[in-house]
Amino acid sequence: MSNKIRRSMPLFPMGTVMKLTELSARQIRYYEEHQLIRPERTEGNRRLFSLYDIDRLLEVKDLLDEGINMAGVKKILLQEENKEVHSNVKEAAGKDKKDFTNEEVRKLLRKELINAGRFHRDDLPPGERYRYFH
Amino acid sequence: MSNKIRRSMPLFPMGTVMKLTELSARQIRYYEEHQLIRPERTEGNRRLFSLYDIDRLLEVKDLLDEGINMAGVKKILLQEENKEVHSNVKEAAGKDKKDFTNEEVRKLLRKELINAGRFHRDDLPPGERYRYFH
DNA sequence: AATTCATGTAATAAAACCTAACATAGGTTT
DNA sequence: AAACCTATGTTAGGTTTTATTACATGAATT
């Protein structure tokens, strides 16, 4: 019923993520090298990031800004991830889960997120309205 | 407090929008030609679509699927847009609005949407979890 | 039959992205 | 201090994706 974006859906290209996170492409690729994110790829091998990935990148950035090095960041984030894996597994175990294909997920996304938001234009920053209704 | 995406923010490239809407690039450009969407452009002139645009495209698609032609679609959607303009103007008038730069909007987005969602990994479709925690 | 509409397709150019390699400023270790 | 490591910058060469423009087409309309 909400129009939240499915956080795991690969949607954003490098350029968008760079702007959103204020990280360089080099940094983003470096963090991927260290397994802190695992963006999907298009058929043509271009990265597609999810909101998860963006969250992750912002966390990495914060931790590095605090003076923690990559080893520390990895420890912290990967241990967090493990907690989530466990809770997810537990949750899934009790849920008689179904496997969705990418295509199915896209359809879900369309219905659940995007359609839900149609005609609900109430979350714009005031100054932005005029860019769409000049 | 929510992690809704700011619906006017230009984020998505053509390829993503094609998958999400199941429209061809030709169709999307054609609808833009008819002013039904007005996606932003990158410095390099590539389109960047917002959730608004995606909404719009899905509406166009639906209406066309119902057998309505472009003239009708335009009438319907542009009149709807006008209603919104009016309500937005009224709203804005009473609100002592501020004009945000793109950069400011990005910062707001980061804080308001993305950070709000950190560590809230509870909206995944069951089958998708394993793509991130293998 | 001629025209219009909505879309497909092809050609060409440029933007954005990829990988890989080398460069480097600041710490760290020997 | 010399050598090393870390996190990031930069550059080069290649590929993918997107842009524009032009022409093509089947279905509907005139």
Mean pLDDT per 10-residue interval, chain A, length 134 residues: 73 98 98 97 98 96 96 92 65 48 55 46 36 26
Tell me, yes or no, whether A110 lies in a domain: no
Structural domain span for residue B18: 1-70+92-117
Nucleotide nearest to A73 (CA to C1'): D7
Flag if B20 and A114 touch (Cβ within 8 Å).
yes
pLDDT at residue B128 greater than cutoff 50: no
Contacts of A109 in chain B (CB under 8 A): 20
- Give B91 CA → D17 C1' in Å: 40
CATH of residue B34's domain is 1.10.1660.10
Give the nearest partner residue to B98 out of A5, A8, A126, using CB atoms. A126
Residue B42 pLDDT: 97
Give the nearest partner residue to A54 out of B20, B98, B114, using CB atoms. B114
Q: How many CB pairs under 8 A join A and B?
A: 152
Number of domains in chain A: 1
Flag if B121 and A85 touch (Cβ within 8 Å).
no
Tell me, yes or no, whether B27 lies in a domain: yes
Residue A82 pLDDT: 74
CA dist., res. A90 & res. A126, Å (int): 43
Nucleotide nearest to B29 (CA to C1'): D19
Tell me, yes or no, whether B19 lies in a domain: yes
Q: What is the pLDDT of residues B23-64, one digit of tens each?
A: 999 999 999 999 999 999 999 999 999 999 999 999 999 999
Tell me, yes or no, whether A1 lies in a domain: no
Are the C-beta atoms of residues A22 and A16 closer than 8 Å to each other?
no
Tell me, yes or no, whether A20 lies in a domain: yes
Q: What is the pLDDT of residues A13-41, one digit of tens each?
A: 999 999 999 999 999 999 999 999 999 99
- B11 reaches A (C-beta below 8 A): yes
Tell me, yes or no, whether B133 lies in a domain: no
- Give B85 CA → C17 C1' in Å: 38
Q: What is the pLDDT of residues B55-89, one digit of tens each?
A: 999 999 999 999 999 999 999 998 877 776 666 55
Q: What is the pLDDT of residues B90-120, one digit of tens each?
A: 555 544 434 445 555 555 555 544 444 444 4
Tell me, yes or no, whether B123 lies in a domain: no
Write the DSSP string, chain B: ---PPPTT---B-HHHHHHHHT--HHHHHHHHHTTS---EE-TTS-EEB-HHHHHHHHHHHHHHHTT--HHHHHHHHHHHHHHHHHHHHHHHHTTT--PPPHHHHHHHHIIIIIIHHTT------GGGGGGT--
Tell me, yes or no, whether A44 lies in a domain: yes
